Structure 1
């Protein structure tokens, strides 16, 4: 089989999901996996796509499996198939190869690319995943035709064959309760990767806080932590120069500081993804600074306390300011802050509160001893536009229009101008709206994706497309509206998400997910997975 990862070498080698799949499959003696890394435009090197291992053409493999994480990578699918000489639409492929898609998109919303795809893998790579490929191997070796193969696998656990499988297809979870027994880690440590010479290591999967805008907090339920001994074993086998810890809630892992000290004892450099402000203790920050960590990233998300209650962020502003104080006191060179703009019902008053909050952050920076140094702590504020995602309470929410988002970004850019050493970066409202369209649409979007593939990209496709993005984005959805992504069952009850949406509109906070105790909670329906 060919395993295809869009984005090019640099991005692909720094992505963990497909590497976990690659490792799982290559450890099976009866399976041969070769890699293809088309760039974001769907091309490998300007010629027909070929594998890294044997330089074989992509079209020569009976199964072409795709790992897709981001909606914008949809464009790479038809373009790469076209470059390989493989018919783009599944209905136009009466014989092999089978085109398969896995990754977060497969259980977030597979509908927009379903017309291109023969089968989706819905969930994590567990024993069912291996059984699927053993079944495929036997069917291919027995000379079965495509129709027979799809009928044979259509109702296997975790398999969604558009138009054939019984829906909704339940997401497969590897070890639903207890620790994370199969943490993802890099197969390839490379100087060409976005994270150079780094072993990326998954510390936890999912998030216990249940922020209403965050798909990861719902599609990866229940949250699970890796075992300390297992992570040590992985590091000792790989023996990398540097370890990058990956997770949605690193500071919630009780073994974080002991593991960092163990890494230092092994003479391994390390880096951490963003941390919750309320998890940054003085002991942890002092240790990070002693080990040379210069940058700390904190997520504030909402401009005001009202907006943070709307999203159920569960973050005390005092804890956030205390984290800033510790960073300034102990000489952090660069503090990165992340916010999201474009919330339903947000007002200028919310951003007036943010202006005051930023002034307090700058005051703390100047007051602390570390802030008086000639090279005081730089602050970078990153702003992204809210994209209401499937399988979150915000799946019913409207998305802010492009003009309003652009005006908000301009307002925020002006907000930071008075402050020395404070910069602001924001995403493109157009790109955010595009992501929203691709995230929330159904199979009718395949036509739009084809137009983008054939006519030079998304902007040109929008001019040619008969559809209207506003129809997908600009209005609040009804309680009983059927969504195209509900061909998948992630395990969280729709009624639970609806109640959370009603609470969001009232800015009411809900307790987070209890994790391994979820079987005793049962409020969101995870016991049915």
Structure 2
């Protein structure tokens, strides 16, 4: 089988999900897995897509498995199949190869690419995942045709075969409740990766805070932490020069500092993804600075306290300012602050509050000893446009127009401009709206994606497509309106998400997802899976 990862090898070698899948499959007897990293045109090195290991053409494999993380990578699927001489639409493929897809989009919203895909793996990779591929292997070796193969697997746990499976298909969770028993880690440590020569290591999966905009906090319930001894075992086995810790709530892990000290004792450099401001302690920050960490990343998310309540962020502004104070005091070179703009009902008053908050951040920086040095702490504010995602309370929300988002970004640039050493960067609202369209649409978007593949990209396709992006993006959805992504069941009840949407509009904070296990919180409906 071929395992295709969009985006080229530099990005692929810095992505964890597919590497975990690759390891699981490559270690299984009877499965031979070869990698292909198609570029933006669906080719490899300017020619028809071929695998990295044997340079075999993609069309020669009976199974082509895709690992897709981002909606913009939908374009790679038909482009690569076209470049390989394989019909991109499943209905036009009377025989093998079989096109299988997995990754976060398979259990977030598989609908836009369903017409290209024969079957999806919905969830994480566990024993049932291996059983699925072993079943495919047996059927292929027995000479079964495409129809017989799909009929044989369509009702297996975790398999969604569009037009064949009984829906909704329940998302597969590996290991169930308790610790994260299968933390993802890099198979390939490469100087060509975006994170050079780094073993990426998953510390936790999911998030206990339940921020209403964040799909990871809902599709990866319940949150799970890896065990310290298992992470140590992985590092000793891989023996990398550097370790990059990956997770949504790193500072919630009680073993974080002991693990960092253990890494240092073994002369391993390390880096951390963004941290919660209320998890930045003096002890942790001093240790990070002693080990040469120069950049700290904090997530503020909302411009005002009202917006943070709307998203149920659970962040005390005093904790955030204290984290800034510690960063300035101990000589952090670069503070990155993440924000999201484009919330339903946001006002100029919300951003006037942000202006005051930014002034306080700059004041704190200048008053601390580390902030007064000649090369004082740089501050970069990174702003993303809100993309309301499936299976979150914001799945009912409208998205701001491109003009409104552009105006907001210009206002933010003006807000940051007076301050020395403060830079504001923001995403492209057109790209954000495109992501929203691809994230929230149904199977009708396959035509749009195919137009983009055949006619030079997204902007050209928008002019040619007869669909209406506004119907998908610009209106608040009705309470009982069916969603195309509900062919999947992630385990969280729809009525719970609706209740959270109502609370969001009222700017009321709700409890997060309890680390004590399912049934110990307000009740999202998540239940342990049988057999997990």
- Residues 211, 311 of structure 1: 8 Å contact kept: yes
- Residues 204, 226 of structure 1: 8 Å contact kept: yes
- Residues 511, 522 of structure 2: 8 Å contact kept: no
Deviations 1:356-378 (A, max 9, x none): 00000000000001011000000
- Residues 204, 246 of structure 2: 8 Å contact kept: yes
Deviations 1:203-224 (A, max 9, x none): 0000000000000000000000
CA distance in 1, matches of 2:59, 2:367: 63
Q: Give 2:79's aligned residue.
A: 79
Deviation at 1:41, TM superposition (A): 3.2
Q: Give 1:4's aligned residue.
A: 4
Q: Give 2:303's aligned residue.
A: 303
Deviation at 1:522, TM superposition (A): 6.7
Deviation at 1:516, TM superposition (A): 4.1
- Whether 1:257 aligns to 2:251 is no
- Whether 1:375 aligns to 2:375 is yes
Deviations 1:324-382 (A, max 9, x none): 00000000000000000000000000000000000000000000010110000000000
Deviation at 1:127, TM superposition (A): 0.5
TM-score, length of structure 2 as denominator length = 0.99
- Whether 1:172 aligns to 2:172 is yes
- Residues 308, 314 of structure 2: 8 Å contact kept: yes
Deviation at 1:261, TM superposition (A): 0.1
Deviations 1:245-299 (A, max 9, x none): 0000000000000000000000000000000000000000000000000000000
Q: Which secondary structure does the structure 1 equivalent of 2:125 belong to?
A: coil
CA distance in 1, matches of 2:522, 2:166: 25
CA distance in 2, matches of 1:40, 1:108: 23
Deviations 1:278-323 (A, max 9, x none): 0000000000000000000000000000000000000000000000
Q: Which secondary structure does the structure 2 equivalent of 1:133 belong to?
A: helix
Deviation at 1:521, TM superposition (A): 3.5
Q: Give 1:416's aligned residue.
A: 416
Q: Give 1:292's aligned residue.
A: 292
Deviation at 1:520, TM superposition (A): 3.5
Q: Give 2:182's aligned residue.
A: 182
CA distance in 1, matches of 2:430, 2:317: 31
Q: Give 1:366's aligned residue.
A: 366
Deviation at 1:515, TM superposition (A): 2.8
CA distance in 1, matches of 2:520, 2:299: 30
- Residues 518, 528 of structure 2: 8 Å contact kept: no
Deviations 1:454-511 (A, max 9, x none): 1100000001111111110000000000000000000000000000000000000001
- Residues 5, 68 of structure 2: 8 Å contact kept: yes
Deviation at 1:165, TM superposition (A): 0.2
Deviation at 1:176, TM superposition (A): 1.6
Q: Give 2:68's aligned residue.
A: 68
Give the aligned length. 529
CA distance in 2, matches of 1:98, 1:44: 20
Deviation at 1:175, TM superposition (A): 1.2
CA distance in 2, matches of 1:496, 1:371: 45
Deviation at 1:518, TM superposition (A): 1.5
How do 1:378-457 residues align onto structure 2 when only pairs under 5 Å count? Answer: 378-457=378-457
Q: Give 1:281's aligned residue.
A: 281
CA distance in 2, matches of 1:402, 1:44: 34
CA distance in 1, matches of 2:335, 2:501: 32
Deviations 1:429-470 (A, max 9, x none): 000000000000000000000110011000000011111111
Instruction: Give the alignment's Cα RMSD to 1 decimal.
Output: 0.7
Q: Which secondary structure does the structure 2 equivalent of 1:515 belong to?
A: coil
TM-score, length of structure 1 as denominator length = 0.99
**Following superposition, which runs of at least 4 residues in structure 1 exceed 6 angstroms of deviation?**
none
How do 1:121-132 residues align onto structure 2 when only pairs under 5 Å count? Answer: 121-132=121-132
- Residues 43, 76 of structure 1: 8 Å contact kept: no
Q: Give 1:108's aligned residue.
A: 108
CA distance in 1, matches of 2:201, 2:503: 35
- Residues 243, 268 of structure 1: 8 Å contact kept: yes
Q: Which secondary structure does the structure 2 equivalent of 1:526 belong to?
A: coil
- Residues 190, 197 of structure 2: 8 Å contact kept: yes
Unaligned runs of 5+ in 2: none
Q: Which secondary structure does the structure 1 equivalent of 2:527 belong to?
A: helix
Deviations 1:179-225 (A, max 9, x none): 00000000000000000000000000000000000000000000000
How do 1:195-344 residues align onto structure 2 when only pairs under 5 Å count? Answer: 195-344=195-344
CA distance in 2, matches of 1:266, 1:528: 38
Q: Give 1:503's aligned residue.
A: 503
Q: Which secondary structure does the structure 1 equivalent of 2:403 belong to?
A: helix
Q: Give the direction of change, closer, same or farther, for the CA distance of 1:360–1:214 in structure 2 (3 Å limit).
A: same
